[in-house]
Chains A and B, each alone.
Chain A
Amino acid sequence: MDSLGDTLWDVVICGTGLQQSLLALSLSRSGKSILHIDPNNYYGGADAAFSLQEAETWASSITAATDNDRGTFKSASITKPDGNTGLSFPRAYTLALSPQVIHARSKLLSQLVSSRAYRHVEFLAVGSFYIFKPTTRSSQKPSLVRIPSTREDVFFTTAIPTKAKRGLMKFLKFVLGYDSEQQLETWQPYADGPLADFLKNEFKMDAELQTYILALTLSLDGLITTRDGLSTIYRHLTSMGVFGPGFAAVYPKWGGISEVAQVACRAGAVGGAVYMLATGIREMEMSGDSIELRLTSGDTVKTRMLVRNDKNAEVGNGVSRLAAIVGSPLKSLFEALVEGAPLPAVAVITFPAGSLMTTSGKAYDYPVYAFAHSSDTGECPVGQSILYLTTSTTPDAKEILAQSLQLLSEAIDADHIPLSLFQMYHEHGRGSVASRPDGSIFNFPDASLSLLFDDSTLEPVHEAWKQVMGEAEVDTDYMTFPDREGVMDDEDMYD
C-alpha cells in the first residue's frame, strides 16, 4: 500500500469549510495531487450541519475547550424539555451551524453550474421576507408584514399608503440602474455612510419604509453602507424570478452550505484527491521548497503548498445564534403567493433595530434575523420546523434571541404557540476577514458570518487556485468543466 509520505503532494488542504471545499472542486480536473484533511470528524467546518447527536457532541466539545485551543465558537448550550415532546430520532434532523440564503444571481450558483456540481444539489425556494411588527396600542398581538420587492408586490400590499408606494417604486427603479453614471452622482456622496441616511435624504422615506429596505440587506448591525446596501438590494431585485416566479433566493436542501461543501469534496474525491477526516496538523516544518507536515494521524507528509484557515487570526465579537426545533409546520410562512411559484421552504423574518426591548426596559439597538425552515429542507420531520435566529453578540443577545423566538411564534399564530422540542445556542466569533498568502502557505479568512451569501467569499478560492495551478492557470477556465461521461444530455435524441 502506498504510504501518504511517499508522494510530494501538490497541495494539502486543511479544513472542509466552504472555501476549502470549493478549492477542492476547482482542482478536481487538474490532475494535481491533493490531500484534503480536516481535524473534525465531519465535513463543513464552520458551515457544517449536524444531526442532534452530533450537535450535542459538538456543544460539549465547545464547552470543554480550554483557552488555549479555543476557536471561533463559544458558549454553546443545548436545551431540551423533559418528557415525550414529539422529538424524533437524532438523525431525523440536520441543524445548520451557520445558515445562509443564496441570491439567484450569486456567483456561487453560476460556478456550481459551470463546474457541473449543481447536479448534485437540490435547491429550494426562499419565499417571503417579513418584518416583525410588535404589539401596538391598536393591535393586541405582534404580526408579520411581508416586504414588497417587486412592482406586483407593491401593487398588492395594503401595508403602505399610496404616496409612499410611489416613493418606493422610484427607489426600486433607481436601484436597478444604480451603477449608471447618472445614478452614481446621486449616491456617491453617501457611499460610505449608512444607507438609512441616503434613503431619508434622497428619497424622503419615513422610518417605516427605511426598515423595509434595510431588512432586505440582512445587515447584522443595521448600519450597512450605501455602497454595500445598494449592491445587495440590486442583487435581490435582479434575482427575483430568475429561477421561477415569486422568489429571489435559494437554499440547498439537507443543510444549506454544508451540502455544497460536501458535494464539492465529493467532486474532489472523484478527481483523485485523498480525504482524511479527524486528522489535523500537529507540527509543521519548512524544508527547502516544500513543507513537511506531521499529522495527528501519525503520518508525515511533504507538500509543495498548504491551504488552511488563518491560524494568526484574532477572534472578536461576532454573532449569537439560536436554533430551535418547533413542533408545528408553520404553514402560513411557507405559502406560494404568486401563480406558478414553487412552495418555498425558507422564510426570512427581520426584527428591525429598536423593535425589541431588553428585560431592563431598554430598546435593543441591533436587528435580529430569523430563518424559518420547513420540513421540505430535509432538516426536520414533516409536521415540524426549525427557526434559526441570529443577532450580533452583545451582553443581551442570548436573552433577546429567546424573546424573539417567543414573539415570532406569537406573531405567526398567537393561539397556537408551538412547543419548542430542542434548542441550541452558540456564539460565533469574527475571525480574519481577508485571505493572507504567506509563501507556500495560503491562509483563507474565517468563515463568513453573513446571512446572505457573500460573493466576495469566492475570491480567495480563486486566488488559492491560481497559486496551486501555477503556470497551468493560463490555459484553463476557472470552475468550468464538461460533464463527466455517463451524464445525460440532449445528444441522446439523435441516437
Chain B
Amino acid sequence: MADQGGSAHGIARASRVRTEEQRKVELDKIAKYRELEDQVRSSVARGDTGPDLFQLTSKLLRLNPEYYTVWNVRRRLLTSGLLSKPSAASSPLTASLTASPTATTTPPSAASSSSSLSATQPSHASPTAGRSGTTADSPVDEAKTSTADATPRAAAVVAVVAGQKKDFDILKSELEFTIPLLLDSPKCYWIWSYRLWLLQQVIDRLSVPVARRVWQEELGLASKMLTRDRRNFHAWGYRRHVVAQLESPRLGGGSMVEAEFEYTTRMIRMDLSNFSAWHSRSKLIPRLLGERGADDSTRKGFLDEELGLIREALNVGPEDQSLWYYHQFLILNLVNPVGHPTLTPAFTLEDRVTYVTREIQDIKELLEDYDDVKLIYEALLEYTLYLGQLQGRKLDGAEKDELAEWLQKLKKLDPMRNGRWTELERECGLVEMESFGN
C-alpha cells in the first residue's frame, strides 16, 4: 500500500496490532499485488505496448507509487506510441527524449532534492526543437515544404494541430492521474518526478499559451500541497521550480517576485512557525527591492517594516526557532555589510549600531514575560557580541555582567550544551582559566 513516504509533520507513526482476520485480509492484498506485478513484468518482457499494459501500470502505481521502474514503463508507452508521433523532421527530438535518463535510479538525497528536481529539466532542453506549433516554427520543415504544393502543407498543419490536441488530452489526463497519488503520498519523489516530466512534455509539445496555462495550474497545485502541509519541502522546492518556469521566456513570462513575496506573507499568516516561508521571503527580498527600484529611504522603510513584523511575531512566539532565524537574517544584513549583499547599502556605521542596539533593547523587553525561553538569551548573547564587533571594541563591564547572567540562565535552561556555554564564558573573559571543569 502506498506509504506516506516519511512521516507527515506532527503525525506519529502508530504500531498496529493485527487480528487474525486483518492478517488474512492483508495476505490477500499482498497476493493480489504480486499477481499484478507479475503481469506487468511479463507484459514488458514480451514487448507489449498496448493499452492493456498501460492499464496495468495504472493499477500497480496506485498501489505502489514508489515503484519507479513502472513509472519508466509508463513513460516509454507514452513516448513510443500514445503521444503523437513527431514529424520526420523532428525525430532527433524524440531520440533525445527517450534516451535521456528521466528517473534517477538512486533516490536523490534529501539535501539535493530541489537541485535534482531541476536537474531533470536540462536533459530535456532542446530550445529550438522544443517549440511545437505551426510548421512555420520548424526551419527544417519550412525548407522541405517551401517549394511544395499548398495542400500537403495544409494537411501537415492540420495533423500537427490534431497531434497537439491529442497530446494535450493525454498529458492532462496523466497529470490528473498523479493527483490522488500525490494526495496520498505527498513526498514520493517518483510522482513529483513523473509530473515534472509531463510538464516538460507540455513545454516541448504544446503551444506557448496552452503550456503557460498548464503551468499556472501547476502553481495552484503547489499552493494546495503547501496548504495541506506547510513544511513539505518538496512542495516549496517544486514551487520555486514552477515559478522559475513561468518567469522564463519559454513560457512568455515576466517576474513574479511581488506575487511570491505576498505568498510568503499569506503562509506566515497561516502559520508563523514556517522555516520554508521565512526562508523564501529572505531569498526574495533582494530581488524585490531591486525590481521596485528602491532608493535608500525606501530600503530603510522596508527594513523597518520587516523588523516590525518579526518583532510582533517574536512577541507571541519567542520559542520558535524559525522566527529567530529570520530576525538573525535581518541583523546579519546590518552587521555584515562588507562582501555580502545588503538591503541597506547606504547605512552608515552609526545607523547600524543604532539599529542593533535598539533590537537588543526590544528583545530585553520580552524577558519581562518570557524569562525561561532559551532562544531569547541566545539571541541577546549573539547580538551583543555582534555589536562589539561592529564597533571594533571589546565589551565593557556592564555588558560582561549581562553576558554572564544570560549564560547562567542558558546553563539552566539548556544543560545539554553546557560545554558550549562554559566555553563562551571563557572566550568572553568572564571566568578565569582556573575554573576549567566547573
Contact = CB atoms under 8 A, between A and B. Distances in A.
A binds B: yes
Interface residues of B, number: 23
A339 B269 contact: yes
B17 to A, nearest CB: 16
Interface string A106-130: 0000000000000000000000000
Contact of A165 (B62, B272, B316): B316
B267 A339 contact: yes
A166 B267 contact: no
A245 B267 CA distance: 12
A156 B29 contact: no
A363 interface: no
A493 B63 contact: yes
B270 A166 contact: no
Interface string B348-367: 00000000000000000010
A339 B313 contact: no
B1 to A, nearest CB: 9
The contact size tier of chain A is: 10 to 19
Nearest to B36: A494
A340 B369 contact: no
A167 interface: yes
Given A339-B227, A493-B62, A151 B316 contact: yes
A339 B315 contact: no
A475 to B, nearest CB: 15
B269 A338 contact: yes
B316 A340 contact: no
B287 interface: no
A338 B270 CA distance: 6
B32 A494 contact: yes
Contacts of A155: 272, 312-313, 315-317
A180 B366 CA distance: 25
A152 B312 contact: no
B396 interface: no
A165 B368 CA distance: 13
A156 B228 CA distance: 21
A151 B32 contact: no
B370 interface: yes
A494 to B, nearest CB: 5
A340 B315 contact: no
Point out which of A151, A338, A339 has the most chain B C-beta atoms below 10 A from its C-beta.
A339
B266 interface: yes
A6 B269 CA distance: 65
A152 B368 CA distance: 21
Nearest to A246: B270
A151 B369 contact: no
A152 B271 contact: yes
Interface string A150-166: 01101110000011011
A338 B313 CA distance: 16
A165 B316 CA distance: 7
A156 B270 CA distance: 10
Nearest to B31: A494
A152 B315 contact: no
B204 to A, nearest CB: 33
A133 B270 CA distance: 26
B220 to A, nearest CB: 12
B63 A340 contact: no
B267 A169 contact: no
Contacts of B316: 151, 154-155, 165-166, 169
Nearest to A167: B369
Contacts of A151: 272, 316-317
B227 A156 contact: no
A282 interface: no
A170 interface: yes
Nearest to B228: A340
Nearest to A152: B272
A493 B36 CA distance: 12
Contacts of B32: 494
Interface in A336-362: 338-340
A247 to B, nearest CB: 13
B200 to A, nearest CB: 28
Interface in B202-247: 224, 227-228
Contact of A166 (B227, B271, B315): B315
Contacts of A154: 316
Contact of A170 (B312, B313, B369): B369
A154 B318 CA distance: 13
A100 to B, nearest CB: 28
Given A340-B227, A493-B63, A165 B266 contact: no
Interface string A471-495: 0000000000000000000000110
Contacts of A166: 315-316, 366, 368-370
Nearest to A338: B270
Contacts of A340: 224, 227-228, 270
Interface in A146-204: 151-152, 154-156, 162-163, 165-167, 169-170
B211 to A, nearest CB: 27
Interface string B244-284: 00000000000000000000001101111000000000000
A494 B32 CA distance: 7
Contacts of A165: 315-316
Nearest to A169: B316
A169 B320 CA distance: 13
B313 A245 contact: no
Nearest to A162: B315
Contacts of A170: 369
A201 B379 CA distance: 32
Nearest to B263: A339
A105 to B, nearest CB: 15
Point out which of A154, A155, A163, A167 has the most chain B C-beta atoms below 10 A from its C-beta.
A155
A163 B370 CA distance: 11
B12 to A, nearest CB: 16
A31 B376 CA distance: 63
Interface in B174-224: 224
A245 B270 contact: yes
Nearest to A494: B32
B178 to A, nearest CB: 16
Nearest to B63: A493
Interface string B311-328: 011011100000000000
B227 A245 contact: yes
Interface in B290-343: 312-313, 315-317
Contacts of A163: 368-369
Nearest to B266: A339
11 contacts: A155-B313, A155-B317, A162-B312, A163-B368, A165-B315, A166-B315, A169-B317, A170-B369, A339-B266, A493-B59, A494-B29
Given A151-B272, A339-B266, 18 more contacts: A152-B269, A152-B270, A152-B271, A154-B316, A155-B312, A155-B315, A156-B269, A163-B369, A166-B368, A245-B227, A245-B270, A339-B269, A340-B228, A340-B270, A493-B62, A493-B63, A494-B29, A494-B63
Interface of B: 29, 32, 59, 62-63, 224, 227-228, 266-267, 269-272, 312-313, 315-317, 366, 368-370
